[in-house]
Amino acid sequence: MLGGTRKLMASLLVVFALCGAGQSSLAQDWPQQTVRIVVPFPAGSGIDAAARIISDSLAKRWKQPVVIENKPGSETTIGAGTFAATRDGHTLLYTTFGTLSVAPLTVEKLPFDPEADLVPLVPTVSVVVAISVTTSLAVQTLAELEAVIRARKGQLAWASSPTLPRYVFATFLKQRGLEMNYVAYRDASQPQMDLGEGRIHAFIAAIPTSAASVAAGKARFIATTEPRRTTILPDVPSAAESGYGEFTFVGGAGLFGWRDMPHAIRERVVSSVNAVLSDPAVTEKLKAAGQQVIGGGPEALRELVEQQRARVLEISRSIDLKSAR
C-alpha cells in the first residue's frame, strides 16, 4: 500500500511539473499570430493614440503584428462587447476605467460581464482631460466661462468625450444653475473642428482631442480635471485650484484580457506592457499625447477602477447618469 502511494505521488509530481513546463512554454511561445487590440473609441481620440504608441512597441517585443481595431459607440460597450465575444486567444481590450465604473450604471443590458469577461492586466496611463473654449469667447478661466454661460442662458453649446468628461460637465452646469446645449458627435475629429469655428463653445476631452484647435489658435485650454496642476500643461490650472472641484476626476486606461485567459499568458502580457511603459521614448510619446504613465499589475488596475467607481457614484448623487448620456 505504501509503495503504491509513493508511486501515485511521484506520478502526480511529474504531471504538475509537465503542466508547469507547458504553461511556461505557452507564455514563451505566445503570441503565435497577429494580436488584435480592440479600442472602444474612434481613431484619433486620446485613448486611440495611447493604444497605438503602446502597440507599436509590443509588436517589436513580440515579433508579431499588433493591430488596433476601433469599435466606438454606446459608452464604450460596443467595443467591450465585441472583445468579450471574440476570445480567440490573441485579442485584447484597451479601454478606459469608465467601461467598468460607468457603463454598468448607465447601460441597461451590457453585452458583456464586467467581472468575468474583462480580466484586468495593466493600468497603462492617466489620461489628462482638459476643458477648452473657442477663442470666439473672450474667456480665459472657468469663472469667466461660468459668467458667459449665465449671461447667455441657453445660447451656447458644449461637447465632450464619452462617460466621465460628459458627466462632470453636466454636474458643473446643474450645481451652478447654468443652461447650455449639449451636442453629440460620432466622429472624434468633428467637435474640435466645430470648436475652432465657434459652432460649439466649450469642449471637455482628452488633450489630443482638442490639441489641433488650440495649436491653430482657434481654441484655448482653461483648466484640467486633474486633482492638481499637471506637468503636461504646466500653464493651465486644475479646475480644483480654480475653485471648481466638481470637475475633478482622474481618467485612466488599461489593458484587459479575456475570460479564462491562461495565467502564463497574463503574466507575459503584464511583463511586456510594463517593459514598454518603462521605455523613456515611449514615455515621451505618451506625454506628448497628453498621457501620464502609470504601469503596474492587475491589482493596481482593479484598485484604480474602484476609486473611479466611487467618484462616479458621488457624481450620480448630483445628476441622473442615464439622462446625461
Same domain, 136 and 210: yes
Domain end call among 215, 232, 247: 247
Confirm whether 40 is domain-assigned.
yes
Domain end call among 216, 247, 278: 247
Q: What is the pLDDT of residue 198?
A: 95
pLDDT in tens, 118-176: 999 999 999 899 999 999 999 999 999 999 999 999 999 999 987 889 999 999 999 99
243: domain CATH number is 3.40.190.10
Distance in angstroms (rounded) separating the CA atoms of residues 213 and 134: 9
pLDDT in tens, 203-262: 999 888 888 999 999 999 999 999 999 989 999 999 999 999 999 988 899 999 999 999
Cα 186 from chain centroid (whole Å) = 17
Rg (CA), the chain: 22
Distance in angstroms (rounded) separating the CA atoms of residues 90 and 23: 16
Q: Which three cell numbers stand for residue 278?
A: 518603462
| DSSP per-residue letters across 102-127 | THHHH-SS-SS-TTTTSEEEEEEEEE
Confirm whether 324 is domain-assigned.
no
Look at the chain and report how many structural domains it folds into: 2
Same domain, 177 and 114: no
Confirm whether 19 is domain-assigned.
no
Band of pLDDT at residue 24, cut at 50, 70 and 90: low
Residue where the block lists cell 466606438: 72
254: domain CATH number is 3.40.190.150
Q: What is the pLDDT of residue 192?
A: 87
Question: Does 324 or 138 have the greater pLDDT score?
Answer: 138
Same domain, 256 and 121: yes
pLDDT in tens, 68-97: 999 998 889 999 999 999 999 999 999 999
Same domain, 209 and 136: yes
For 82-107, b where at least 16 C-beta lie within 10 A, e where not — what string? bbbebeeebbbbbbbbbbbbbbeebb
Same domain, 240 and 257: no
Q: What is the pTM of this model?
A: 0.81
User: Residue 17 pLDDT more than 70?
Assistant: no
**Which of 162-166, 198-202, 236-240, 287-291 is least confident?**
162-166
Band of pLDDT at residue 42, cut at 50, 70 and 90: confident
Same domain, 201 and 266: no
Confirm whether 303 is domain-assigned.
yes
How wide is the angle at C-alpha 141 spanned by C-alphas 177 and 188, nearest 5°? 80
Residue 65's domain comprises 33-126+250-316
